[in-house]
Structure 1
């Protein structure tokens, strides 16, 4: 059971190892693109390429879907990046249903664990397999695997590494269950649990009145999707990358851009205001220094570097 690319790697790993996948459950086809044509999910495409039966219920409690699902008499259900399952679904197999979660549980329970781990400045994350129970992301753990978060990582780069690490863990979990030798470890109680709630437009707007490192983590934790955003001259821009600038730059410059940046950040500016030379550089005064906007996207336009944007667009000094 899965829908996005993150789940495809696990399906393919199981198939490549000769596991008997009897059916795949994924989301219904959705309108996509300029023509709003119905588009299958990545998991559906992978399943059809492997000639597997595909179930696409609109409602997981639909009696017709439940009857069809039960007809496969699955021993085990594997869930990777899918919807929240009702008990009638996850309790159906004789062994149960396990889920792959993109964090080291019990930390970062919720819909966006990769994003929030980076936003919060973590230096390590991982993947967990666990049996699904009534309370979301709280079931008995089977295995965990760890993955570092590097200073220049984004949600996209960590996603791709966890996708592969998670696929390996799914296969390890299936083999252990098949052999009848697998742990069922209660999740430890913790008083400092960090949640990973679903991201929304309201929670992805940049607050420039924070420290530079906080904003940088926020931007890279949302890049490339769903992307942090801000308003420039009353227009909405997605911001994909920023870098921290030392306010007291070394005057031994090597490039014209460094000279420009030095002049911009050494001009008295209020927190939350921008400076630009109108040609190559956009910098923002934040709570404890300066940030440079490196990559952004105007509404209706493609993603650009700041220099590419400024070549064809005027930008006032105020955000």
Structure 2
């Protein structure tokens, strides 16, 4: 039976929680369901222990995740964060969740790291070491799963709010329990969250049946760019600034778009090239089978998981990025890069 590799919760993490009264929680930029769910879930855990918590995000929570009970508590106010931390500075700790690289903490990274010693809880395979203490388990399905284990180690009874947050974290990062990272323990934890009152149908509806018309218009434009290469084994889509203008959609609306090319029967790797702002390009990769896109992402100073990874460019145009990425992918798959459809 496929299982997980448990390295155990570092004593420094539990001691940090025991010794401190105030906690600043951080996650990566453009946070997804696991990032937000694990952050708000840990906030619930800490508050149940009588701790005070400040959840900091670089930008407002996406409308896609506005349904999360903790969404209203997320703050983009850096001054308020500093005021919170200064009040009991010797009893304040910072914990970063689901961020495999300190650069993913965003434009305020240096200020955030300077507040006090940083603890890290993460499950990314390509994790780059940062912080004074790290609890990293790449075999875990999600950071939300790790927060559940931490709650159990601390003797915390899972509240409905916490269960809701952690279920969203696990559900979104496993693709609703479809991805290879899903293991028996994932289902065991999900069952415990249901026992705490979570309604899977309700959450699935909020995640997957809550999109706007402008998102659908943008999806139509993006799917029109679909091109298949290498005997239909590589699928590529892209989005450009003019598409956002034409559709009226926002950057947050592109989440999940890459699942469409990935779902094609013959596709082994899906590529989504995103130019949200002119000249600022990011690339998402999703894989099926043996291709390890985390290793591909490393070649471009990015990272992620075996089947889901990404990276950024600041000095190339979209056509150059596409050519370079497709060339590397074709070499990795050992196939000729011939365009077959598109």
Normalising by the residue count of structure 1, what TM-score does the alignment of the two structures yield? Answer: 0.28
Q: Higher helix fraction: Structure 1 or Structure 2?
A: 2
Larger Rg: 1
Larger RCO: Structure 1 or Structure 2 (Cα < 8 Å, ≥ 6 residues apart)? 2
Normalising by the residue count of structure 2, what TM-score does the alignment of the two structures yield? Answer: 0.26
